[in-house]
Amino acid sequence: MRHSLITALLGTVPAATITTTGFSLPALPNLIAGPKTPSRPFPLSAARHPSRICFVDPEAPDAGPALISAARDCNNGGTIVLLPETTYTIASPTDLTFLRSIDILILGTIVFSDDVEYWQARAFGYAYQDSHLFWRFGGRDVNIYGLGIGVIDGLGQTWWTAKRRNETVYRPHLFGTDGLYGGSISGLNMKNSPMWFNVIMNSRDILITDINIWNEVTNSSSPPANTDGWDTYRSTNIVIQNSTINNYDDCVSFKPNSTDIIVQNLQCNGSHGISVGSLGQYQGQYDIVEDVYVYNISMSNASDGARIKIWPGVPPNTTGSSSGGGAGYVRNITYELFYNMNNDWAIELTQCYFASSLEACNAYPAVLQIEDIVFKDFYGTTSKKHDPKVGTLVCSDPSVCKNIRAENIVVSPPSAATAQWICTNMDEELLDVNCVVA
């Protein structure tokens, strides 16, 4: 921790003895979405009362109840503060979905108990992809900010090792919203998530900016898995920007019913790309991803740069609801200004995601529609894995893929051979790439 900054914030009073008279509350950062801006403006925050400051007890053995108590005391106009050079351990489910016009300033380190067995029965659970959360945020007009100092640590290695030993272990996501309407999340350092770093669910009108995400692997035989940077689900009018992500799965993934999303100015490394989907996983469900703009992305050492992944159809009378066959559509998606460095595919569009075989996928093609897609201004170099092929655009049937365009694509294989693209059931007149037979 930078001592000069702590002194500026707190003076010389020891952190454990800080009171409201010894603490000067730093201003909420002036956060602006840009350069791309949402189609409708974010709602303005209500005024905060500078004297209403609630400190989370740094001595509490479980910071969860202390955080809930502070939120109740400072709701409707106050600010919660977690002090610098202080570690807060959350050891029980922490439900913060009742928030109203409140700010949360995280200057210390939040750590979650890594008692795997305890959390199996107690983490907040969701049916979609067996998602779980240690804590969750919801309500209206909430700003969560760390000024580049605050840290959230999931102690992921314990969880990755447990999952390696037992595939049935649930691993909670590091951070999640459920019913958050209006606000921001900014200036936080997030590390070692057990599973996804962030899930934005059932939420709208949120600006997320200046987040630093990474994993620290201490056991190479149990590396991280499924540590997505962000997943959006049943959410609208979300902006994710100006962040660095070093992880082991999707940098950002747009799950079902994500609409009006902007992702811009990200540096992603080691991921599975910025992905639409996966979609169509659940029979009887109608998945929508619409009006998404991905702009100015640097993607390195990933399996994919831009990615759209759809589950195939299923045979009649197939039992089990999570094996594909879902309906819906992907519409009005733009990827623009996308730098690739050592990615296996610069672009991958597939409707055979998790198919048991290509033959099975062809026999029961996906029914989910994909239309009005633009890949524009892609450049850089792919990895050696598929050289000289650099991308794959494969649709299960021409009737379900319409107006898919690739413009100004100048991605090269490392051999410097002519770049090749696998194109199946595409209108090749709309593709500024060199299509070849797979």
Catalytic residues, which ones?
A: 249, 272
Say if residues 95 and 136 touch (Cβ distance below 8 Å).
yes
Q: Is 39 exposed, middle or buried (0-12, 13-18, 19+ CB in 10 A)?
A: exposed
Residue 53: beta bridge partners?
79
Identity at 21, one-letter amino acid code: T
Rounded to an integer, what distance in angstroms lies between the CA atom of residue 431 and that of residue 428?
5
Structure tokens at 269: 């490394």
Q: Which residues contact 57 (CB under 8 A, 6 or more apart)?
A: 63, 66
Identity at 383, one-letter amino acid code: S
Q: Which residues contact 18 (CB under 8 A, 6 or more apart)?
A: 10, 55, 83
Nearest to 132, CA basis, from 99, 89, 176: 176
What stretches of 327-400 adopt beta strand conformation (E)?
327-343, 345-350, 369-382, 389-394
Q: Burial letters for 238-263: b for 16+ Cβ neighbours within 10 Å, e otherwise?
A: bbbbbbbbbbbbbbbbbbbbbbbbbb
